[in-house]
Amino acid sequence: MKIVIQRASEASVTINNVRVAEINQGLVILLGIEDADTDDDIKWLSSKIVNLRIFSDENEVMNCSVKDVNADIILVSQFTLHASTKKGNRPSYIKASKPDFAIPMYEKFIHQLEVDLEKKIQTGQFGADMKVALINDGPVTIVIDSKNRE
Could you list the beta-strand ranges (E) of the chain: 2-15, 18-23, 26-32, 55-56, 62-64, 72-77, 122-123, 130-145
How would residue 100 be classed by pLDDT, with cut points 50, 70 and 90?
very high
pTM, rounded to two decimals: 0.94
Active site residues: 80
What pLDDT, on a 0 to 100 scale, did the predictor assign at position 150?
72
62 with 56: CB under 8 angstroms?
A: yes
Q: What is the CA radius of gyration of the chain?
A: 15
Residues 74-88 have pLDDT tens digits of 999 999 999 999 998
Q: What is the largest CA-CA distance in the chain?
A: 49
The whole-number average pLDDT for the span 4-24 is: 98
Q: Name the class of domain 2-145.
A: alpha beta
Could you give the C-alpha distances from 122 to 54, 77, 144, in angstroms and in order? Answer: 20, 12, 20
Residues 109-143 have pLDDT tens digits of 999 999 999 999 999 999 999 999 999 999 999 99
DSSP assignment, residue 89?
A: S
Residues 44-84 have pLDDT tens digits of 999 999 999 999 999 999 999 999 999 999 999 999 999 99
Q: What backbone phi and psi angles, to 5 degrees, belong to 24?
A: -95, -125
What pLDDT, on a 0 to 100 scale, did the predictor assign at position 149?
84
CA 99 to chain centre: 17
